[in-house]
Amino acid sequence: MKQKFSNSAINFLCTILLLVSSGMVSLQAKALNGTTGSKLEATIVDDSDAIVGRWLYTVADVAYEYSHGALYISEDNGVYQVEVHVNNGTLRGQDIEVAQNKITFSLEIEGSNVVVTLRAKEDKLSGESSSADGIFKIKGKRKAQPQ
């Protein structure tokens, strides 16, 4: 059976495919079987807000002062900010990129550039930091917002 699609339907599908391929949204789809045939139901999921919040984190195999702390990720009108609170102060993230539940940013630590990539899934955070000293695993959990 040949079906004809309108230009608006084709434009809509092209827009959805562009957003999905660029990582701006994810797509969840499921087949719906009815008596008159099969249909596909698609839902666009923008989970970039999953990364926003307050996080407690640990980093393995690094100097004690950088091995744990708090991470604050905020967003205002599409502009993200990152603050990393460690024992000896606050570091501010630079070159911040967010796609879905993933964030990448850089920090300057003791004169060295460190690139951090993290993913949020529910209330857990995982990823790594990469510097001239190596690659280090990061784990974290969401910190409850103050009442």
Residues 57 and 73: beta-carbon distance below 8 Å: no
Residues 143 and 56: beta-carbon distance below 8 Å: yes
Residues 94 and 105: beta-carbon distance below 8 Å: yes
How confident is the model over 83-105, as pLDDT tens digits? 999 988 999 999 999 998 999 99
How confident is the model over 33-56, as pLDDT tens digits? 555 555 555 555 555 578 999 999
Domain 48-142 has CATH 2.40.128.20: yes
Report the alpha-carbon distance of residue 112 to residue 147 in Å, rounded. 37
Inter-residue long-range contacts of 131-138, CB under 8 Å, 24+ positions, other chains counted: 134/61, 136/59, 136/60, 136/61, 136/62, 137/59, 137/60, 138/57, 138/58, 138/59
Per the document, the length of the chain is 147
Which pair of tokens denotes residue 132?
């001239």
Report the alpha-carbon distance of residue 137 to residue 26 in Å, rounded. 26
Residue with more model confidence, 138 or 44: 138
Segment 3-28 mean pLDDT = 52
pLDDT recorded at residue 144: 74
Residue with more model confidence, 27 or 142: 142
How confident is the model over 11-20, as pLDDT tens digits? 555 455 444 4
SS3 at position 80: strand
Rounded (5°) CA angle 45-144-113: 75
Considering the chain, tell me which residue range(s) the CATH 2.40.128.20 domain(s) occupy. 48-142
Q: Is the pLDDT of residue 80 over 50?
A: yes
